[in-house]
Each structure stands twice: as structure tokens, then as C-alpha cells.
Amino acid sequence: MSEIKIKQVEKLVNGQRLFEVDQLTATTGDKIGIVGRNGAGKSTLARLLTGEDIDYTGQVSVDSPIIDVAQIAPTQDRSGGQAMMARVRAALSTRPEILILDEPSSNLDESHQAWLIKQLRHYQGLLLLISHDRHLLNAVTTQTWAVRHQAFTAYAGNYADYIAVRDQQIASQQAAYVRQQRHQHDLKLAVQARHEKAQRIRKGKRSMSAGEWANSKSLREATAAKMDRSAKKLIERGDREANLTKPFTQVGFKLVATDFPNLIGKTVATATNLTLRRDQKVLLKHVSFQIKPGDRVALVGPNGSGKTTLLQAILAGQSGLTTAPTAKIGVFQQDMTVLDGHLTVWQTVRAASQLPDQTLRNVMGALGLAARFYDQSVAVLSGGELVKLQLVVILVGNYNVLMLDEPTNYLDVDALDALADYLRDYPGTVIFVSHDATFSEQVATRQLILKDQDLTDPDQVAVKAPAASDLPLLQFKYDQLMADPMAKTADIQALRDQIEAAKG
């Protein structure tokens, strides 16, 4: 029986508290999800458990050997998915008593994700799973250690169970805060009313004669003083009451098309009879597709099917591929070496964008780079924080097309939701690769599916191209829609596309 005990632990970084733990325990058979925002201390907690980090106060007890599979990024000769699968297989083959996995599903396609879930469900030891993958956490874990407000807390159940409890706690805190604010307001009004009444008593009634005013002065002063004392007691009562903190809520913001350069033309990228190779291996053979302005296209397919290579080919303008001359493409590919470690976070973002300062702050805050990061050096950021910074630099850049290769890897759930919201409102075109099913469902308006050297466009397959003989009828319907003030733009565009297809 293996056991982990963490008690009264405090971890400092540069003299500032990173996190504290009152008490956490785990034994063989537990499958624990470790969740929280990037930089909150999840990986640091793992290093405390493995003994790699001993700079803390408190008690950490681990009575069995630990196998730790840390985060890994893609390399030039091997995809991130291939590298992670190899390390997970090697770790499981040793049948470890305690296993720590840090973001193991990053870069894994759907079939390998299913394999990972199956293996972890059957694992008999003590599992600690650091992940932002909601599907993986819900499928595997039986307990959750969440770090919020610089403290780790244990919750029964998987990630969905934890979120339900957390949301209920936030709702209760918000209701209590509102009640307190209303009560404090009522106290303030009561104090003000007592002081005003005391002032009126001191002045006396206008109908009083000079003699009456003089004879009642002592009594009026005593009565007014009593009112003042009553007001003072109300103030003291308010001061003694607990001061509740307002729950944090993310303030949303909207992007507008004028924030970014305009794209002229009916297509962003076009492939015509494209054959795509990598290292002499054919990935796609004689495929064609179009990406139009405003599309949010998810490239979908198994590891090694050519998704990243296709992004690179579009960017390079490979033979068989054309892009609009006015397309300004911003590329995210998790290459942290492009960031200058000598600059601060704010200097990095400000230099990359023409947007107003407040818009930049809004985007940074939504992705988890709050004001406390502005003056930090890029060199001291955690891996997840570097991913966020590189994403912000691309998102706010002077582009009208975003090309994002696995932007969801290593992002916490709050940042994932914020990124999805941003991309849904983005006025340009988005082409992205992600194995996070929830994120893809939130963002994509269409898919291009790569498999077995072929590319399938479900939107094109689903709609049969009209024959040329249908052209008069289609033109008639188009004229009717154009004359109809209630017609939807999307319907007009769809009919226009059918007319163009009929013209051949």
C-alpha cells in the first residue's frame, strides 16, 4: 500500500507565497486530478513529491518510489504526441507504485487519447494526473486537488464534480457578498439618519421663542448626544462584522473588424490538386479545398496525417496552394525561442500590436496574464505562461488570418474558455489544429479531415453541386432573396455559392 501525506506545507518563490497546503492525502488506487491555472504550482507540487524540490516548509511524506513523466514539447524529428506516447508506455511498463503524469494527452489524436484513458483506468497504483484536458480528467480521476487563491484543496470526484462544487461555492459567496453590501448600505443610511436627526434636535424648532430655545438647550443637547451615540454603535457594529470578498468574475470584451487589416477577396487559401509530402512520405494526394474569409477551420486527423505540414505549406505558398495577396498571417506553433527573454511581458505584447493598451490588457487578463505579470521578465515565466504570452502576441498582432498549431496544449481551463471566446468573435479567419474536442466544438465552423492521404471537406460532400440547367431557377431565387428585407445574409451567400458552382 503506497501513501502520500502533505501537511502544513508552504512553498515560496522569490520570497512570495506560491501555494500552501493544509492537508492532502492519497493512497494506492486513488486517481487524482491536479488542476488549476498555469503557474499556480501544480508541477511544483509534483517536484516536492519526487524530492526534486526540497525548498519548502511543512511535511511531505511519500513511502514508495515515484515515476514522473513531465511535460514534453514537440521536437524537430518527433511529434509531441509520439514523444509523449513513448514516455507513457515506458512508464507504465515498469508498473510503478506511484505515477505522476504532467499533461500526458497534449498532442495526442483521438485514438491515442482513447488508448491513454483505457490504460489509466486499468492502472492499479496511485495516480497523480496534472492536466487541463477535461475529457481525460472526467474519464479517469476519482478525486481532485485544485489550487485556487494560492491554496490546494481536495474535492471528491472527477473534474466535473469539482466544477459543480466550485460553482456552488462561488454562487454562495456572491449571494453572501450581495447581502452584506445591502446590509452595510442600510447601516450607512441609518447612521446618516441618526446624525441628521441629532442635528435637527440641536437646532430646535423654528416656532420656538428665544426663551423656549434657551430653556430647552440642555435637554436638546442630551437627546442629540444620545442619537449620536446610537449612530456610533451602528458604526462599531458594522466594523465588527466580517468583511466578505467579492468573487472574481472575468470581464468580457468585444473585438471589432476595424482593429485588424482588411482582407480583400473571396478566398483566403485555395488548394488545387495538391500533393503534400514530408521526408519523401506522401501525406496528401491530389486534394483540393478552399478556405473563405471568416471561416474558423479545424484541421482534423490522426497524428502524422499531415495537419502541421499542411499549415506550413499554406504559409510557404507551396505549389498547388495559393493565398490571398492581402492575407496577413499570424502563426502560433509553440516555439518559445521566438520570445526575447530579456524583455518584460508588457514590452513583448506592446511591441507586437497596434491595438490600444486597454484592449491588450483585456486580452492578457482573459488568458491569465494579469497585471502582476506586466513587469516580469519573459525568462522567468513557466511553460504554460510562455504559451499564453506567445498566443497573446499572435492574437493581438496586425493579422487578418490566424494559423494556430495546437494552441490548447498546456493552457488551463479558464484560458481555454477565454481563447475559445476570443476566436469566436475574431473578425478574421482562423485555421487551427487541436485535439481538444471541447475546444474544437466551441470554435470551429467547419472541418477539413485528413486521413489516409486524402482530405475530406464535409461541407462540400454534404452539398451536391447543382447542374448548369438549374442556373435560371437559382438566379430567380437569388433575386427574390435580394428583394426580401427579411432575408438572412447567410442564405444569400449560400445561394450565391450554388450559382457559382452551377456556372462551373
Beta-carbon contacts of residue 91 (< 8 Å; ≥ 6 apart): 67, 69, 99, 101
Angle between helices 413-425 and 357-366 (to 10 degrees): 130
CB pairs under 8 A, 24+ apart, for 461-467?
463/498, 465/501, 465/502, 466/498, 466/501, 466/502, 467/502
Beta-carbon contacts of residue 361 (< 8 Å; ≥ 6 apart): 371
User: What is the domain class of 257-461 according to CATH?
Assistant: alpha beta
Pull the grid cell for residue 60: 511531505
Instruction: Specify the amino acid at residue 85.
Output: M
User: Each residue of 446-482: b (16+ CB within 10 Å) or e?
Assistant: ebbbbeebebbbeeeeeeeebeeeebeebeebbeebe
CB atoms < 10 A from the CB of 174, how many?
14
Residue 377 DSSP code: B
Pull the grid cell for residue 289: 479545398
* DSSP code string of 248-284: P-PPP----GGGS----SS-SEEEEEEEEEETTEEEE
Is the distance from CB of 96 to CB of 67 less than 8 angstroms? yes
Q: Which CATH architecture best describes the domain 3-157? A: 3-Layer(aba) Sandwich (3.40)
Q: What is the chain's alpha carbon radius of gyration, rounded to the nearest angstrom?
A: 31
Q: Which helix (H) or strand (E) holds 455?
A: strand 454-456
How many Å apart are CA 301 and CA 82, to the nearest integer? 14
Per-residue pLDDT tens listing for the chain (504 residues): 889 999 999 999 888 899 999 999 999 999 999 999 888 899 999 999 999 999 999 999 999 999 999 876 555 555 566 777 888 899 999 999 999 999 898 778 888 889 999 999 999 999 999 998 899 999 999 999 999 989 999 999 999 999 999 989 888 888 888 888 888 888 888 889 888 888 888 888 888 888 888 888 888 889 989 888 988 888 888 888 777 777 665 555 555 555 788 888 889 999 999 999 888 899 999 999 999 999 999 999 888 888 989 999 999 988 889 999 999 999 998 666 678 889 999 999 999 998 889 889 988 988 888 898 999 999 988 777 888 899 999 999 999 999 999 888 778 888 888 889 889 888 899 999 988 888 898 999 999 999 999 998 886 644 444 555 566 777 767 776 666 666 666 667 777 777 776 665
Instruction: Specify the amino acid at residue 163.
Output: I
User: Each residue of 289-301: b (16+ CB within 10 Å) or e?
Assistant: bebbbebbbbbbb
Beta-strand pair 151-156/57-62: unpaired
What's the Cα-to-Cα distance from 298 to each of 116, 284, 416, 442, 446, rounded to whole Å? 23, 17, 16, 11, 6
